[in-house]
A and B are shown apart, each in its own frame.
Chain A
Amino acid sequence: MAVMFEYRAAHSAAEAVSLLREHGTDAKIIAGGQSLMPLINLGLAQPSLLIDINSAAELDFITRRNGSLAIGALTRHHTVERSGEVRQYIPLLAEALPLIGDPQVRNRGTIGGSLAHADPVGEIPTVASCLGAIMVVQGPNGKREIPASEFFVTYLTTALDAEELLTEVIFPILPANTGVCFKELVRRQGDFAIVAAAAAVQLGADGACTAARLALAGVMPTPLNADAAASMLVGQKPTAQIIEQAAQAACVGIDPESDVIASADYRRAMAPVFARRALTEAFERAARA
């Protein structure tokens, strides 16, 4: 079956946006192609126009700015994985990145593509949700910023308008004494996660928790920000018991799905286990920091 569409290479964000405006919902951006091409090959995606942003070099950058690290949408997974700045300033992202797919996928896939694709078990969306990252998007009327809590709407759906391009993601740099941890359940390294948990915590001089963030994946149609449950740790010494309570609280009301890889019941049972493990290890790292 031949799928027919047109192809245009955009050399800048502005060019991509003007093509999007011209062609609206019939057009689709192609970045790394690692999620879109399988759909095209299967005939499941049939856009009338593919706008290729791979030559928009201005979207490929990692730069430190006002207490945060901004990463251009076209930056490849592999580039992020190898970046010394990412390792130093956003260690949670550095820990999660090598868990994505395999070398071929990471060589081509982009951070912006992962966020725009919004797979609810994607490592990058989960880290973005945990850290409260901000998406910068550009449309016909200029730029706007969307926090992760509003960006992920539901399964494979974001707050991006049809005419908008994601240009960068801004991660806040957490204090150096923060302990972070990313844990995921997979049958084989590189598979999509069955469930995953991302945690970032801080300890005061007295050993009590001063801040805690938690996000879970594989339990809802978007990454689940569980900061409310994690906040019960604040002011407490992080004992095994209270960590367990926070992990259980994070999973109240989760509604995972069954698929060929795992049942909803299995996900429901594993989610608090991975929340606990991520929190526990994050506290251990914070204590050493």
Chain B
Amino acid sequence: MIERATTRLHVETQINGENTDYLCGPEQSLLEVLRDVLGLTGTKEGCNDGNCGACSVLMGSRLVNACLVLGAEAEGQEIRTIEGLAGPDGLHPLQQAFLETAALQCGICTPGFLIAAEALLDRESEPSEERIRFWLAGNLCRCTGYDKIVRAVQLAAERLRQAGQLREMEVPT
């Protein structure tokens, strides 16, 4: 009979720019840690096996499914979750665009889509529709349908480009 350890691990990490530490069981996923230990319930659980993308978060610069990462593996990493998306001045342009174009119904997939889309728009200011669809292939939505979601991302990209251009115009003057 194998002795099962019940030791808890102390993990130091950064979540949405803030140094955070927590204790977790060696078997706990990052998703469980975010939701049950840290109370960050914006990240959703759909399938718990890597298929739906509802638990998407950024680890470093990489988009990952938090249900397939151990809480212990967040040691020394920078994690970004949906709670970090809106700024002090209000919603992120992606959130605003999702609202305006009705790109959500029940909303359980939405945090995952927003984090995944943000990761794309951080890299590319003008992704094609095809690019958006391939990038979001790991995120499933069972109610809205993908057209509205893709359109919301395109709208947000357009607004971010305009805002960027405005900022660039301000610089030389």
Contacts and interface: CB of A to CB of B under 8 A. Distances in A.
Interface of A: 2-7, 9, 26, 30, 33-34, 37-38, 40-42, 48, 50, 52, 54, 78, 101-105, 107-108, 189-190
Nearest to A23: B2
B37 interface: no
B49 A7 contact: no
The 5 closest A-B pairs by CB, nearest first: A102-B138, A7-B26, A4-B4, A38-B49, A37-B68
B73 A107 contact: no
17 contacts: A3-B27, A4-B6, A4-B26, A7-B26, A7-B72, A33-B69, A33-B70, A37-B70, A38-B50, A42-B49, A48-B2, A48-B3, A52-B72, A78-B62, A104-B50, A104-B116, A107-B62
Contacts of A2: 25, 27
A37 B67 contact: yes
B53 A104 contact: yes
A241 B65 CA distance: 47
A48 B3 CA distance: 8
B9 interface: yes
A4 B62 CA distance: 28
B170 to A, nearest CB: 34
A101 B2 contact: no
B45 to A, nearest CB: 10
Interface string B63-99: 1110111101101000000000000000000000000
Interface string B48-64: 11100100100000111
A101 B62 CA distance: 15
Contacts of A102: 53, 137-138
B7 interface: yes
Contact of B4 (A5, A9, A40, A78): A5
B154 interface: no
Contact of B26 (A34, A50, A78, A107): A50
B67 to A, nearest CB: 6
A239 B107 CA distance: 55
B110 interface: no
A190 B67 contact: no
Interface in B115-148: 116, 134-135, 137-138
Given A4-B5, A7-B72, A37-B29, A104 B67 contact: no
Contact of A107 (B49, B64, B75): B64
Contact of A34 (B50, B70, B134, B135): B50
Interface in B5-40: 5-7, 9, 25-27, 29
Given A37-B49, A48-B3, A189-B137, 9 more contacts: A4-B26, A7-B70, A30-B70, A38-B49, A41-B67, A50-B70, A103-B134, A103-B138, A105-B65
Contacts of B29: 37, 41
B69 A108 contact: yes
Contacts of A101: 50, 138
A2 B69 CA distance: 17
Contact of A37 (B2, B62, B69, B116): B69
Contacts of A190: 137-138
A108 B64 contact: yes
A265 B56 CA distance: 37
A102 B52 CA distance: 10
Nearest to B67: A41
Contacts of B63: 103-104, 107
A6 B9 CA distance: 9
Contacts of B53: 102, 104
* Interface-central residue, B26, B27, B72, B116, by most chain A CB under 10 Å: B27
Contacts of B73: 33, 52, 54
Nearest to A190: B137
Contacts of A5: 4-5, 26-27
Contact of B138 (A4, A26, A37, A105): A105
Nearest to B28: A2
Contacts of A48: 2-5
B135 A33 contact: no
* Interface-central residue, B5, B50, B63, by most chain A CB under 10 Å: B50
